[in-house]
Chain A
Amino acid sequence: MISDAARYVGQAAIYGLLALAIGYFSSRPMVVYFPTDKAQIKFSFAHGAKRVEECRRLAPEEIAKLPPRERRPHTCGRERLPMRVQLLVGDVPIYDDVIQPTGLSRDGPARIYRKFSIAPGRHEITARLRDSNRMEGFDYERRVTIELKAQQNLAIDFSSDQGTFTIR
């Protein structure tokens, strides 16, 4: 038989173990989320590319064919073009892809959310976007030279309203 004193000591030990486990595992062991000797470029935006079928004025006979409540002077196709996006560090493309529009009718904005880790230091960074049906070149481009520190998060966004990349 265990004496009462030993039982109390045993209980205290169990409570102590519980507290120890909770205290330790509530913040340890640590995990490495991002290497301390790297910087990050976060490249993300949502943009509606040009429509596959441009808006055009309807002919009077076409307007007449429409139900009275739906008559309008213009018609626009819903589907948007895919978006070509490129990101270069120096002359090296670290991202080059074609992003499809969202939505069942492909009429929503194309979205991108990508992260890249690069070495800290001075870099020339170029972001390019083509959102039209042109075959070559890009509609938007921005190039900056920037000094990146370790663990810095460089956010590259695109403002559809201003038609330019923002880098911060």
Chain B
Amino acid sequence: MRLLRLSIRRIFDLAESGLGKVFPPEWNPLLNLGALGFFFYWVVTVSGIYLFIFFETAVHDAFASVEYMTRDQWYAAGVMRSLHRYASDGLIVVVIAHLLREFALDRYRGVRWFSWVTGVPALVLIFVAGITGYWMVWDTLAQYVALVTTEWLDKLPIFGASIARNFFSPDTLESRFFTLMVFMHIAVPLIALVILWVHLQRVTKPRINPPRGLAIGVFVALLALSLVHPATSQGPADLAKVPATVGLDWFYLPLYPLLDRWPGPVTWGASGALLLILLAMPWLPPMRKPAAAVVDLANCNGCTRCFNDCPYSAIIMGNRTDGRPFERQAIVNPALCVGCGICAGSCPTSTPFRTASDLIPGIDLPDHSISALRDAVLAATAPLQGKSRILVFGCEHGSSISNLPPGTSSVSLRCIGQLPPSFIDFVLSKNLADGVVLVGCSENSGHARFGIRWTQARLARARDPHLRARVPAERLRVVWAGRDGRTKLDSALRDFSRELDELLAPPSRAVAERMAKLEEFIRD
């Protein structure tokens, strides 16, 4: 499973990197798959409502009404029909890509099982909605879909009467069954929408709208396709004849040729097994979960920063239980905590300058504590030598930070958002290094969702805890590199080192050393 995951991840990393060359980071389609799914859903919904105005739900009139829309009213209903079809296809593309990407990034196990498991029925319902949609046109493809679907359903011995007999001959065809399909085509997407709402319940601030530029680009592409290659029907259905050759929609019907040819036990067994495997994947095998964040009430004043920054709604603010004169306290739900440490990075007590007491923040990761982080910084910077000493803060999901050039050392975090900005100040003001580099996931693609966003906001002094104003901007670099970004990191380090050399020319260095001595003198 791990090998499969890594292989798919490699493909996604390459694709993401390639798309990143032409799209701005926030527009990268691979970083907006879920939001694009919602966008396609709304295009399908709006176009579907318009089409329903002209659609005749009686089986003997359905084809003619669709033909009217396609031919006579090609400029409006015809375009809407094409948008309806192509946006539905786009929905499948982005949903499958979304599923594969979450799998590849290992974001489906542990506490993320809920989003994965609720996504599976939503996916099934999207397929059902699409299949019933093809049925409604009542052309040759619809006849094929009706025959294969009902014959396949009849292979499951749970229905009292044969469903396929509804399509036995022209005489057996009734509008009642057809009306049921129309009802399903409307009801199923609505049920899917409710499930998608549940799907997002454990995600804080989910992105359900793509950036405007990306949405416009995708819509223009769909519109152009609708005008150049309009969706058409494949001749009227005729149950007195057998459809010979049909043009399949391979996004929705890729398994139909197999459903028709393979025995029922095989197709039903394979479908059931696939569904069960998909549902069970978060536990195949279960994730070894890092320890959840822990609140230390003695250092928590209920400021809500961790509550606001947690990407997974794992922290709630509750009434104070220790009698201290604060209104609220942070409470961690271990079942939802992924152990990213973003909460510790947001805590105002997570400052390495603290010497009066032990460095125990109000909230912290037991197995990757802020205190251990300070120790790691001191250990990593102690051996640094050379003209420009650089300390790199990296994360577990970004570029590799091992085997860095001489004069550079590194400290690894769970997520770059775990780094309180005071650590940057600490390193530079204590003259532990001449420059600091933060390395995270590729831009707009944070593994822990908000690690990059909150870090950028903290550095820009737009979100607590701020980076102190005294930290010189020229001694700090940020590299959003992703796992494939080692070349980018090496290049950034070379440039930064050169800039630091110029910046810390002898007079400046002497001043820096004098300042350090002065600080030491004041402290003593």
The answer to whether B22 touches A11 (Cβ under 8 A) is yes
B240 within 8 A of A: yes
Q: Given that A11-B23, A15-B220 are known contacts, is A22 also in contact with B90, CB under 8 Å in the complex?
A: yes
Q: Given that A15-B221, A31-B246, A153-B241 are known contacts, is A113 also in contact with B171, CB under 8 Å in the complex?
A: no
- CB-based nearest A residue for B144: A33
- Chain B residues whose CB sits within 8 angstroms of the CB of A30 once the complex forms: 245-248
Task: Give the residue of B22, B169, B242 whose beta carbon is less than 8 angstroms from that of A10.
Answer: B22
B288 within 8 A of A: no
Among the stretches A40-48, A66-74, A86-94, the one at the interface with B is A40-48
- CB-based nearest A residue for B88: A26
Give bound CA distance, A140 to B229, whole Å: 54
Q: How far is the CB of A152 from chain B (nearest CB, A)?
A: 6
Among the stretches B160-168, B336-344, B478-486, the one at the interface with A is B160-168
Interface bin, chain A: 35 or more
- CB-based nearest B residue for A42: B168
Number of A-B contacts (CB under 8 A): 123
Q: Given that A7-B22, A23-B86 are known contacts, is A157 also in contact with B168, CB under 8 Å in the complex?
A: yes
- CB-based nearest A residue for B229: A23
Give bound CA distance, A34 to B172, whole Å: 21
B19 within 8 A of A: yes
A76 within 8 A of B: no
- CB-based nearest B residue for A153: B242
Give bound CA distance, A35 to B217, whole Å: 42
Give bound CA distance, A28 to B245, whole Å: 11
The answer to whether B247 touches A27 (Cβ under 8 A) is yes
- Chain B residues whose CB sits within 8 angstroms of the CB of A27 once the complex forms: 234, 247-249
The answer to whether B248 touches A2 (Cβ under 8 A) is no
- Chain B residues whose CB sits within 8 angstroms of the CB of A6 once the complex forms: 22
B260 within 8 A of A: yes
Give bound CA distance, A42 to B220, whole Å: 47
Task: Give the residue of B19, B161, B220, B240 whose beta carbon is less than 8 angstroms from that of A14.
Answer: B19
Q: Which of B144, B162, B239, B260 has the most CB of A within 10 A?
A: B162
- Chain B residues whose CB sits within 8 angstroms of the CB of A152 once the complex forms: 240-242
B123 within 8 A of A: no
Q: Given that A22-B90, A44-B168, A113-B154 are known contacts, is A36 also in contact with B249, CB under 8 Å in the complex?
A: no
The answer to whether A25 touches B251 (Cβ under 8 A) is yes
- CB-based nearest A residue for B23: A11
Top 4 closest A-B pairs, CB basis?
A10-B22, A155-B169, A27-B247, A15-B221
A15-B220, A33-B144, A151-B242 given; name 7 further pairs at CB < 8 Å: A18-B218, A19-B224, A22-B225, A26-B231, A26-B251, A42-B169, A155-B168
- Residue contacts A-B, CB under 8 angstroms, 15 given: A14-B22, A14-B29, A25-B89, A25-B249, A26-B85, A26-B249, A27-B248, A31-B246, A31-B257, A33-B243, A34-B244, A42-B168, A113-B165, A151-B244, A168-B171
